[in-house]
Amino acid sequence: METPFLKKLRHGAALTADDEATLVGGLRNVQSFAADRDIVRDGEQSDDVRLVLEGVACRYKLLPNGARSILAFLMPGDFCDLHVAILGRMDHAISALTACRIANIPRTTIEAWTEHHPRINRALWWATLVDEAILRAWLANVGARRGDERLAHLLCELRIRLETVGLAHGNSYHLPLTQQHLADTLGLSIVHVNRVLRQLREAGLVSFRSGRVTISNLDELTRLAGFDPGYLHLQGSVRTGGMIEGEQALLG
């Protein structure tokens, strides 16, 4: 089976056919959410871990000052709340940006995976740590770049991430966000996002129309963004994984 889920996790560990069957077998209890519905609420204590099968969702925080901050985009193959099993309580909410199909994986299944399937355990760690690496890249992005550079960086990142799960081809991809979503993500106002989009379009770098991103000059966009995809840890990680598994076998 070629779900985005497997396509993604293969970057994190050298999964066997058995591993993949085990993973796919855990994807029951599929739920559908309409756009703009909360999938997980802030403060919630849940016994299931959720995974995006189709659609796009986001993590977000509502701050006391009324601002909404989008902390991550969750694409097909991304886990919503691997942490909730350990931390016990959500410190942010998750909302569907488009209609979503979400798999609910019981915590006990996750625990069985991590105890009895070392490559799956590794893939889950990898997914968690890549999420953290993306967070660091976003923090540097909003902390140290101008609005146009921030937007360019985000569009470069999403191109790669969507390509990884087979949802982008070449320099164009579907991105069902409003300018308000981009604003809440980049720490800008919606008006400024609109102006920056126009600036990038008129400079011939990228256009964003009716939910589709089309990059017309990837080199220049990458340069403007200062984008280096190393933090996504996509290439070479599987090789290292093999070495570590070898060592684990020696240990065990």
**Using CB under 8 A as the criterion, which residues of the chain lie in contact with a second copy when the complex forms?**
12, 43, 59, 61, 63-65, 67-69, 71, 83, 85-89, 91-92, 107-108, 111-112, 115, 122, 125-126, 128-133, 135-140, 142-145, 149, 185-187, 226, 228, 230-231, 233, 236-237, 240-241, 244, 247-248, 251-252
Question: One symbol per residue from 147 to 166: x for binding DNA (CB under 7 A), - otherwise; what is it?
Answer: xx------------------
Q: Are 51 and 33 in contact (CB under 8 A)?
A: no
Residue 18's binding partner out of a second copy, DNA, none, with CB under 5 to 8 Å set by partner kind: none
Rounded least distance, CB 222 to a second copy, Å: 10
Question: Is 194 near DNA (CB under 7 A)?
Answer: yes
First to last CA, the chain: 31
Tokens describing residue 203: 């400079």
d(C-alpha 230, C-alpha 223), whole Å: 15
Angle at 11 between CA 154 and CA 175, to 5 degrees: 30
Based on the shown chain and the rule CB under 7 A, indicate whether residue 198 belongs to the binding site for DNA.
yes
Buried-state track 19-48, b at ≥16 Cβ within 10 A, e below 16: bbebbeebbeeeeebeeeeebbeeeeebeb
Q: Using CB distances below 5 to 8 A depending on partner kind, what does residue 10 bind out of DNA, a second copy, none? A: none
In this structure, the number of other CB atoms found within 10 A of the CB of residue 56 comes to: 24
- Among 16, 29, 32, 180, the residue binding DNA under the rule CB under 7 A is 180
Burial 165-181 (b: 16+ CB within 10 A, else e): bebbeeeebebebebeb
If binding is defined by CB under 7 A, does position 178 make contact with DNA? yes
Which residue lies nearer to a second copy by CB, 137 or 168?
137
Residues binding DNA (CB under 7 A) = 146-148, 178-180, 187-192, 194-198, 210
